[in-house]
């Protein structure tokens, strides 16, 4: 709609613009009512979006209480000064004996000392090789200082790291291998474009013939055993020796055995079970919040249907298979709670029945949530969006009508101003005639 500009009639002295504004305010009431309704619909969509988000989180939590996803384990070491251990979801209960013969160590090279990290070198290239893999770094005006070379190596090389060591003689570039193998140790070659700056030859090293870099320490693999099986690792963190366990080798064990024990945690206190209960209670709280008095979805029938559907899942099974038998029950306010004693006792009597019940419950609840998300809420959103589009269409038509009405008001007041102008002109003419007649006498 065109904007209204307040103007004062040149001949009438009436603020015609203000009058038109007030007339159009009345005319615009149907349009403004549609705007208010549209905002209400948009608020509803936002609220249903919050519902969908909570239901999706609950659905994801349900997927993690099926079968062995509920199992978790705690691993401990008999002497963490030598071997540390952590367990993940792939672990199993058991006990293992570890001996550490040798720790892994990086291969390290260092350069001659330079006076500053800002010392400049000739342009060219540096190629660092480790474990049969090579990376070539181009040096130019942007990176050919000592610190620039360090940063360029760290940015480009995936298996070599660079740092600068400052000692009493100056600043040295130090390179360390990351991974690799003893059969393909670190080597560094350069291509110097020449110039008056420091020569790149300062960084050369060949494992056979040597070079201008100095070998500080050789690379070696960790050597250890698990239950007598001899193993090696390029690093002291070992995650592929026993499924679900990560060993951190801290010190050689001098042929003594470190015992690693893996025990199952209580399912009733597992993170996945806790997450499910929290997700359910959070979803229920959000549904109640949005339907409370004065809230966007107050007395909304769709939300009541969703709440009832969620509750019905818990009472749809037989008494022997209901999850309530296994310690998952409703509080008086509708929230969920876990009776750890009841669950642990039921599981100790029959793990098979517990998993059978929990899997059936999870599958049924997931189906219910999927139906709510893809049907109930999807249809609701489609309906609201259709209503918003209809409002947009109506407002577009009303906008055209209002523009025409405003134009008509402007035209009428313009005609009134013209009529007043004509009358004032006629009056002036009559006055002039009267004065002329009086003067001639």
Q: Is residue 5 over pLDDT 50?
A: no
User: What is the rounded average pLDDT for all residues in the chain?
Assistant: 86
State residue 90's pLDDT score: 82
Q: Tell me the pLDDT band of 409, cut-offs 50, 70 and 90.
A: confident
Q: Is residue 137 over pLDDT 90?
A: yes
State residue 248's pLDDT score: 97
Q: Give the number of residues written for the chain.
A: 441
List phi, psi (to 5°) of 390: -65, -40
State residue 68's pLDDT score: 66
69-128, pLDDT tens digit by residue? 777 889 999 999 999 999 987 888 899 999 999 999 989 999 999 999 999 999 999 999
Q: Is residue 2 over pLDDT 60?
A: no
For the record, the structure tokens of 223 come out as 């050597």
- Rounded (10°) angle between helices 16-27 and 29-63: 50
Using only C-alpha atoms, what is the Rg of the chain? Answer: 41
201-231, pLDDT tens digit by residue? 999 999 999 999 999 998 889 999 999 999 9
Cα separation, 357 vs 326, in Å, equals 8
Cα separation, 261 vs 239, in Å, equals 16
Higher pLDDT, 44 or 434: 44
Q: Is residue 16 over pLDDT 80?
A: no
DSSP states of 184-217: B--EEEEEE---SSB-GGGG-BBTTTB-SSEEEE
- The CA distances from residue 36 to 32, 33, 391, in Å, are 6, 5, 10
Query: 311: Cβ–Cβ under 8 A, 6 or more apart, which residues?
Result: 330, 334
152-209, pLDDT tens digit by residue? 999 998 789 999 999 999 999 999 987 656 656 899 999 999 999 999 999 999 999 9
Higher pLDDT, 423 or 77: 77
Detail the DSSP E strand segments found in 218-305: 222-226, 229-233, 237-238, 245-249, 258-264
Cα separation, 44 vs 297, in Å, equals 7
Higher pLDDT, 352 or 15: 352
**Of residues 14, 15, 12, 13, the one with CA closest to residue 4:** 15
260-293, pLDDT tens digit by residue? 999 988 888 888 889 999 999 999 999 988 888 8
What percentage of the chain has pLDDT greater than the value 90? Answer: 44
Q: Tell me the pLDDT band of 147, cut-offs 50, 70 and 90.
A: very high
Query: 304: Cβ–Cβ under 8 A, 6 or more apart, which residues?
Result: 291
Q: Which DSSP helix (H) or strand (E) runs through 156?
A: helix 146-156
Q: Is residue 21 over pLDDT 90?
A: no
State residue 438's pLDDT score: 63
Contact 207, 188 (CB under 8 A): no
State residue 318's pLDDT score: 46
Q: For the residues 406-417, what does the mean pLDDT come to? A: 79
What percentage of the chain has pLDDT greater than the value 70? Answer: 91
Pairing of strands 258-264, 94-102: antiparallel
- The CA distances from residue 288 to 274, 309, 315, 353, 370, in Å, are 21, 14, 21, 34, 20
Beta bridge partners of 85: 247
Cα separation, 354 vs 322, in Å, equals 10
First to last CA, the chain: 61
Secondary structure of 383-427 as H, E, C letters? HHHHHHHHHHHHHHHHHHHHHHHHHHHHHHHHHHHHHHHHHHHHH
240-253, pLDDT tens digit by residue? 999 999 999 999 99
Cα separation, 94 vs 76, in Å, equals 11
Q: Is residue 349 over pLDDT 50?
A: yes
Beta bridge partners of 91: none
């Amino acid at each position: 709609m065109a904007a209204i500009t307040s103007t004062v009639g040149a001949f009438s002295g009436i603020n015609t613009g203000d009058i038109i504004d007030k007339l159009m305010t009345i005319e615009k009431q149907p349009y403004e009512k549609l705007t208010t309704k549209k905002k209400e619909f948009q608020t509803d969509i936002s609220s249903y979006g919050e519902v969908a988000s909570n239901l999706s989180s609950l659905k994801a939590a349900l997927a993690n209480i099926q079968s062995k996803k509920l199992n978790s384990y705690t691993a401990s070491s008999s002497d963490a000064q030598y071997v540390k251990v952590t367990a993940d979801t792939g672990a199993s209960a058991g006990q293992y004996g570890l001996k550490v013969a040798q720790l892994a160590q990086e291969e390290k090279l260092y350069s001659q000392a330079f006076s500053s990290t800002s010392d400049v070198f000739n342009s060219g290239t540096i190629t660092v090789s480790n474990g049969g893999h090579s990376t070539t770094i181009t040096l130019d005006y942007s990176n050919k200082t000592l610190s620039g070379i360090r940063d360029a190596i760290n940015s480009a090389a995936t298996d070599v790291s660079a740092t600068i060591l400052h000692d009493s003689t100056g600043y040295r570039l130090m390179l360390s291998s990351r991974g690799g193998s003893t059969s393909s140790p670190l080597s560094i070659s350069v291509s110097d474009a020449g110039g008056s700056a420091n020569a790149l030859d300062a960084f050369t090293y060949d494992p056979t013939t040597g070079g201008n870099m100095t070998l500080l320490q050789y690379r070696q693999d960790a050597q250890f055993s698990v239950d007598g099986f001899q193993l090696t690792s390029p690093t002291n963190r070992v995650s592929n020796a026993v499924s679900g366990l990560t060993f951190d080798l801290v010190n050689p064990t001098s042929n003594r055995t470190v015992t690693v024990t893996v025990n199952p945690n209580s399912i009733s206190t597992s993170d996945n079970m806790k997450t499910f209960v929290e997700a359910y209670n959070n979803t229920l709280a959000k549904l109640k919040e949005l339907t409370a008095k004065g809230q966007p979805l107050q007395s909304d029938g769709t939300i009541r249907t969703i709440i009832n559907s969620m509750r019905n899942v818990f009472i749809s099974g037989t008494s022997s298979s209901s999850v309530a038998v296994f310690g998952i029950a409703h509080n008086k306010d509708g929230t969920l709670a876990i009776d750890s004693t009841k669950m642990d006792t039921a599981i100790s009597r029959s793990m098979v029945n517990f998993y059978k019940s929990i899997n059936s419950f999870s599958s049924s609840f997931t189906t219910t949530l999927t139906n709510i998300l893809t049907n109930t809420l999807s249809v609701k959103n489609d309906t609201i969006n259709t209503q918003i589009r209809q409002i947009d269409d109506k407002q577009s038509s009303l906008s055209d009508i209002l523009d025409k009405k405003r134009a008509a008001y402007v035209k009428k007041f313009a005609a009134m101003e013209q009529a007043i102008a004509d009358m004032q002109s006629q009056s002036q003419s009559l006055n002039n005639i009267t004065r002329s007649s009086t003067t001639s006498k």
